[in-house]
Amino acid sequence: MTKDIKTTSPEMIPNLLAGLCRKIKSLEKAIKRKNMVQVKKTRCGSSLSKSELAYIFYILMDEGVLFLNELEPAKNRTMLQVFFETNFSYRGDAGAQMPLQSLSREFSEAKGFTYRDKQLRLLNRIIRRLEHRKQTI
């Protein structure tokens, strides 16, 4: 069913335009909501904190276990960093999974000696888990 078109007077035009603007804004909001739902993608979760996950990724990358560009280390780091940030999440402070974003600082820390003790504790914890796994096989 269609509504009959009413005749409009010049005095009605501002009200009609205001109504049209409201409808356009409402439509824009609906489109944005739909796009946000579509953009949400599944990420690989982790029980590690952001820095722990970054350290593990950096170590595996630095040891040549993980790579996207084996021939150019600087390019490899950038490519892997983008890959990790796009596809992984970490356990945040409240225990919820958070998207892994901006790993530059954590990668720099992993490269430096300042955070040596943190890395050793993390590696020892992982080694213990792997040793336990090895014994149960």
3-state secondary structure of 34: helix
CB atoms under 10 Å from CB of 71, counted, come to: 7
Between residues 6 and 95, which one has the greater pLDDT?
95
Q: Which two tokens stand for residue 68?
A: 């996207």
- Residue 3 has a pLDDT of 59
- Give the tens place of pLDDT for each residue, 12-71: 788 888 888 888 888 888 777 766 555 567 889 999 999 999 999 999 998 999 999 999
91, β-bridge pairs: 97
Q: pLDDT-derived band of residue 86, with 50, 70 and 90 as boundaries?
A: very high
Between residues 6 and 123, which one has the greater pLDDT?
123
**Does the model's pTM come out above 0.75?**
no
Give the separation between CA 88 and CA 43, rounded to whole angstroms. 5
Give the separation between CA 34 and CA 64, rounded to whole angstroms. 41
Give the separation between CA 75 and CA 68, rounded to whole angstroms. 9
Cα–Cα nearest to 111, from 49, 65, 51: 51
